[in-house]
Structure 1
Amino acid sequence: MEEKSYKEYLNHITTFIFDVDGVLTDSSVLVTTTGELLRAMNIKDGFALKFALTAGYNMAIISAGTNEGVKLRLEGLGIKDVFLGAHDKITAFKEYISANNIKPEHVLYMGDDIADYAVMKVVGLPSCPQDAIPEIKGISKYISHKKGGKGAVRDVIEQVLKVQGKWVELS
């Protein structure tokens, strides 16, 4: 049986779910002298997240991290479903799709490491940044040409919205 191209899944996506560290960030953590952990997020990723929300897509973040600054940034973009401290991501995923009546095959999930594996095995379009670990790349139907925190989120959102005719039309 011939393997489907990832592009064949784009038309069916109604929901985006992203990990934070290694996906929305480059996995770096700056530690201040007071012990505060700082992360950098890509502004273009942020634009795409907000644009997809405005276009009517479901959006969630599932992360094992608990950084309050990350939560404030994501909520500032309009993302209401932010699951932090989710060490068992599959449980958070199942609760989210059940509460929102979402079919797993309509979900694009982008992760980069072992904690994302279980969720990625059950979604319609598992995807990852270019610098994800080999095990995650091995189950991804789409591997972005961009690294985590460097536009991988924008890349995948833009592709889905373009295929569905919902991306920015400039003329």
Structure 2
Amino acid sequence: MEDKSYKEYLPNITTFIFDVDGVLTDGTVTIMTNGDMLRRMNIKDGYALKTAIDAGYNICIISGGSNLGVQKRLEGLGVTDIYLGAHNKIDQLKEYTERKQIQLEHVLYMGDDIPDVPVMKCVGLPTCPQDAVNEIKSISKYVSHKNGGKGAVRDIIEQVMKVQGKWNANFDAKYD
């Protein structure tokens, strides 16, 4: 259930950390005859990630999956901190935040399933897509009205950036 007070956290967010499967994708996998697994990502989520990077936010991906296509897509958007094959996500969270000297209360994490629970309990603003499992919804301070892979990432990035006056702040200057 959405906690109305989540908006109080938005002005202090400096860092976005996302899971991949079920958050940046819709959680389905198409298995090809050669064994390759294909995932679908939302272009609007990609735009929001790129916009956040360009505005100076820290963006990190921590995922149990290890798909080369996912990595290439994220790198193409400018994401440089990508942890794939992460089975104990707390280790990657700790390494990343210590290396970047990020305070956990300034971190927004979006996850959708049980492996995300430990990280979500550590960060300032745990969030999830609408179709996350109940255990994740119960510990989230914000549940997006969008499903994973269907704009949930865009939803929360846009909210944070609007509150901080950074969402399309240079739109007029770029397109005059």
User: Could you state the TM-score of these two structures normalised by the residue count of structure 1?
Assistant: 0.97
RMSD: 1.1
Q: Please report how far the alpha carbon of residue 168 of structure 1 lies from its aligned counterpart in structure 2 after TM superposition.
A: 1.1
Q: Please list the CA deviations of residues 37-89 of structure 1 after superposition, one character each: whole Å capped at 9, or x if unmatched.
A: 00000000000000000000000000000100000000000000000000000
Specify the code of the residue in structure 2 equivalent to 1:105.
E
Partner of 2:38: 38
Equivalent residue, structure 2, for 1:134 = 134
Whole-Å separation in 2 of the counterparts to 1:145 and 1:161: 18
Corresponding residue for residue 74 of structure 2: 74
Q: Which amino acid aligns with 1:109?
A: Y
Aligned residue pairs total 169
Aligned to 2:97: 97
Whole-Å separation in 2 of the counterparts to 1:135 and 1:125: 16
SS in 1 for 2:147: coil
Query: Is the helix fraction higher in 1 or 2?
Result: 2
Deviation at 1:4, TM superposition (A): 6.7
Q: 2: distance between equivalents of 1:23 and 1:66? A: 15
Name the SS for the 1:61 alignment partner.
Answer: strand
Counterpart Cα distance in 2 of 1:88 and 1:68 = 20
User: In 1, distance between residues paired with 2:28 and 2:85?
Assistant: 18
Alpha-carbon distance in structure 1 between the residues aligned to 2:56 and 2:27: 29
1:3-18 aligned within 5 A: 5-18=5-18
The whole-number CA distance in structure 1 between the counterparts of 2:29 and 2:65 is: 12
- Equivalent residue letter for 2:126: P
Q: For residues 13-37 of structure 1, what are the alpha-carbon distances to aligned partners after superposition, in whole Å with 9 as ceiling and x for unaligned?
A: 0000000000000000001111100
CA distance in 2, matches of 1:130, 1:102: 27
In structure 1, what is the Cα distance between the partners aligned to 2:75 and 2:114? 26
Opposite residue 13 of structure 2, the aligned amino acid is: I
Structure 1 residues 146-161: aligned runs within 5 Å:
146-161=146-161
Amino acid in the other structure paired with 2:41: M
Q: Return the alpha-carbon distance in structure 2 between the equivalents of residues 111 and 63 of structure 1.
A: 9
Letter in 1 for 2:19: D
- Aligned-pair CA distance for 1:156: 0.1
Kindly provide the amino acid, as one letter, of the partner of residue 164 in structure 1: Q
Amino acid at match of 1:36: D
Query: What residue in structure 2 maps to residue 145 of structure 1?
Result: 145
Which residue in the other structure is 2:124 paired with?
124
**What letter matches 2:49 in structure 1?**
L
Q: Percent identity?
A: 68
Question: Match of 2:80, as an amino acid?
Answer: K
CA distance in 2, matches of 1:114, 1:90: 13
**TM-score, length-scaled by structure 2:** 0.94
Query: Structure 2 CA distance, aligned partners of 1:101 and 1:90?
Result: 16
